[in-house]
Amino acid sequence: MANFLTKTLFLYTISIVFCLAFGQMSNRGDENCETLPSEIHLVKEEYDELGRLQRTCNAEVTVMKCEGLCNSQVQPSVITQTGFLKECYCCRETFLKDKTILLTHCYDPDGVSMRSFRVSFAIILTCACTLRQNLMPEVSAQENDVQRTTDECQVTPVIHVLQYPGCVPKPIPSFACIGRCESYIQVSGSKIWQLERSCMCCQESGEREASVALFCPRAKNGERKFRKVNTKAPLSCMCRPCTGVEESAIVPQEIAGYTDEGILANQFRKSPQLQFA
């Protein structure tokens, strides 16, 4: 009878926490990847077959750039090798179009005015927040010079449903990195027409680890019906370039058997803003 009441109370507590989580599901800000005009100073040099400079042309050109805030998150996951499931979105071009530009200010090496020069380039037409498929850092020549102050990246309490083959799913208190970070893509003028890219994602800057006991009724003869599974969670979060999991010190946190100690209810008492992992 006592065991039945304990299980009933636990399931009732889980139901209440789940309802609270669904009621306050979204803590992510609105994305605003914008297509904005940008003025660049374009320079084009023309050489002969011997490599001698024939003329230099330049002009002030208006092109479009992508800039804004995109949502990203890192959730705990035991099915991935790293222990985290990452979802990074970047403000990127969705459509390019070839454009011919007339450079009207052309001069030879002696400064004598020459005829205009036509050049064709692919320019940005539209932008949107796009999921990054390859989590490799993007390098931008001007990334250190661009100051971003509107990033919103926080450690967020979540209820993570821990699942393992052959075992009963178990909801546990955990954490995730959820927020939105700055990213941009813009044309670099000067002598080389190139696209500078920068993408910052809300990611972990440290890890914590927990060992959780799962009940596995499908265990074969001779195998244990309780299995300990390690799961990770972010220790802290920050906007940084999209990469794989950053190696760092892991802080052990043993939470196996938490159901008897009421940790599930106490864990989220500090913050009412819950998310589902």
pLDDT band, very low/low/confident/very high, at 230 (cuts 50, 70, 90): confident
Fold for 14-276, please state it: Cystine Knot Cytokines, subunit B (2.10.90)
DSSP characters over 210-267: EEEEEE-TTPPTTS-SEEEEEEEEEEEEEEEE--SPPP--EEE---TTGGGTTHHHHH
Residue 224 or residue 171, greater confidence: 171
For 23, the 3-state DSSP assignment is helix
Mean pLDDT of 95-120: 89
pLDDT at 117: 86
Mean pLDDT of 157-172: 88
Residue 84 has pLDDT above 80, yes or no: yes
pLDDT at 42: 85
pLDDT at 139: 43
Angle of CA points 216, 218, 224, to nearest 5°: 55
Residue 210 near residue 172 (C-beta atoms within 8 A): yes
Residue 9 has pLDDT above 70, yes or no: no
Residue 236 near residue 150 (C-beta atoms within 8 A): no
Q: Is 262 left (phi over 0), alpha (psi -120 to 50) or beta?
A: left
pLDDT at 189: 63
Residue among 72, 134, 114, 66 nearest 94 (CA) = 66
Residue 3 has pLDDT above 70, yes or no: no
Distances (CA, A) of 211 to 25, 50, 120, 250, 257: 26, 70, 59, 12, 10
**Spatial distance between the Cα atoms of 38 and 185, rounded to a whole number of angstroms:** 11
pLDDT in tens, 60-69: 888 899 999 9
pLDDT in tens, 28-75: 557 889 999 988 888 888 898 988 999 999 888 888 999 999 999 888
pLDDT at 243: 59
Residue 139 or residue 98, greater confidence: 98
pLDDT band, very low/low/confident/very high, at 144 (cuts 50, 70, 90): very low
Q: Map out the domains of the chain as residue ranges.
A: 14-276
pLDDT at 108: 92
Mode of pairing for the β-strands spanning 105-107 and 34-47? unpaired
Distances (CA, A) of 154 to 68, 69, 104, 219, 262: 18, 15, 50, 39, 25
